[in-house]
Amino acid sequence: MEYCFKAILQSSGWRENVRITVDDGLIVSIEENSNGSPTGYALPGFRNCHSHAFQYAMAGLAERHDRTSGRDDFWGWRDTMYRLALSLDPDQVEAIATMLYSELVRHGYTHVCEFHYLHHDKDGSPYDNPGEMGERLISAAETSGINITLLPVFYQKGGFGKDPLPEQRRFISRTIDDYASLLERTVKACEKSQIASAGVAVHSLRGVDPENVVRAANDLPKDLPFHIHISEQLKEVADCKEFLGTRPVEWFLDKVDVSERLNFVHATHVNDSEVKAMAERGANVVLCPSTEGNLGDGIFPLNDFQKAGGKWSIGTDSHVGLSPFEELRLLDYGQRLTTHRRDTFSGRFESSAENAIRNAAFAGMKAAGENGGEYFEIGKPLNGCVIGKDHPLIESCGMESLADRIVYASDPSWVKGTIVNGRWVVKDGQHLNREKTADDFASALKRLVQNSES
């Protein structure tokens, strides 16, 4: 199979009039200056490095705020999320995830890292198949045509030194052996799928006993990526200092063997020494600007992290935003608003967008457990976000500014299609399985509303 593009973006810049030949989803040749009929401009498919799929069912539904409650913050939002988590059955979870993943592909994502902690039945008891929910997420990814790194989450506590809350009963692995068993089952489920891989995840320092955080990071398979929420909330940092005598990132870096497999999610509230240490130790940071803004988390000190050589990727977390371009814009604009400068991603004469895509792509590979040296590479799957060539802003743009125009001026209609593993999954702006996916999603949400009213 052949694909012809007006240009493809590689890490070193644009390559024009390119023909890519694919066999069984893998790139076998990349030819420049071809004479084929081009479809558009191909960017590397984006990796969404932090997702809670079930939360898509409540996107935009936690925006009625009571200023007198004292709970108009992340912790109040969490109560709403817990009610949703306690209401869903496996069929609903699969339908919601399938809809979400289809929408992610429509927006240009070709890979999702699913931070999955909805493990048990509604009463907290294990399913007959303890990996039921994880397998449903793999099935959703297969139906949607997106690659998935499934990250079963070790969740043990209700806070620093506290027993789990009743609302968390579906999340809990009582011991690290219980979690290791869940991880092993997840790895085996992923091995049965052509689009799935597994990783290790700890919910947070407040969510797992400290000694088990260390064991999970140091003793479980080190060939898998490792993800952890950390320093997202000011209260979390204060509670950590009281319980462990130090700040979360500082504690983690002191106790755990750190390498490029490590992904700190959010890391919103970090001090100068933590920023420098994260970068020097090779830890990646996963940033989710639309969710972090929606929850009022704060703004990660990205400029300082980048100056220290730090690497970062993006995710959509609770899915109030689904566009990779929106995540990159919000990430940049947050820095501009705090530094009063406009050079977040670029040095002298460099493209802000190309540098942003480069950071997100290569750190995204690490987060997903992939190895790769280039966006489009012979011997690797063809995964691309294809921008249409006919928009007036595209037609009037030179190649040196094309990536900047796409990242900073586009809307989702600019995404002509998305190619995953060598085949069109979204074409002419429409997901190939959209009708059934949307019907199943609507049915799942209808049942959810009916159950909440009964």
Taking the C-alpha atoms of residue 328 and residue 345, their distance in angstroms, rounded to an integer, is 10
What average pLDDT is seen over the chain?
A: 95
The candidate with the shortest Cα–Cα distance to 380, out of 367, 371, 391, 389, is 371
pLDDT over 70 at 110, yes or no? yes
pLDDT over 90 at 451, yes or no? no
Average pLDDT over residues 268-295: 97
What's phi and psi for 410, nearest 5 deg?
-85, 165
Residue 319 near residue 56 (C-beta atoms within 8 A):
yes
3-state helix, strand, coil in the chain (%, to 5): 40, 20, 35
154 forms bridges with which residues in the sheet? Answer: 202
Query: Tens of pLDDT along 65-82?
Result: 777 776 678 888 899 999
Residue type, 14: W
pLDDT over 90 at 372, yes or no? no
pLDDT at 347: 67
Q: Is 114 helix (H, G, I), strand (E, B) or coil?
A: strand
Average pLDDT over residues 415-432: 96
Average pLDDT over residues 179-205: 98
Confidence label for 350 from pLDDT (cuts 50, 70 and 90): confident
In which residue ranges of the chain is CATH 3.20.20.140 found?
46-368
Average pLDDT over residues 48-66: 93
pLDDT over 70 at 359, yes or no? yes
pLDDT over 80 at 358, yes or no? yes
Percentage of the chain exceeding pLDDT 90: 90
Confidence label for 454 from pLDDT (cuts 50, 70 and 90): low
pLDDT at 304: 96
Average pLDDT over residues 345-357: 87
pLDDT at 318: 98
Domain 2-44+375-434 matching CATH 3.90.79.10: the answer reads: no
Active-site residues: which are they?
266, 317
pLDDT at 449: 84
Q: What dotted CATH number matches 46-368?
A: 3.20.20.140
Taking the C-alpha atoms of residue 422 and residue 384, their distance in angstroms, rounded to an integer, is 9
Instruction: Dump strand ranges (E) for 277-429.
Output: 284-287, 311-314, 384-387, 415-420, 423-427
Residue type, 161: G
Residue 5 near residue 18 (C-beta atoms within 8 A):
yes
pLDDT at 377: 97
39, two tokens: 């479809």
Instruction: Dump strand ranges (E) for 217-344.
Output: 226-230, 262-266, 284-287, 311-314
Query: Tens of pLDDT along 128-146?
Result: 999 999 999 999 999 999 9
pLDDT at 453: 62
pLDDT at 156: 98
In which residue ranges of the chain is CATH 2.30.40.10 found?
2-44+375-434
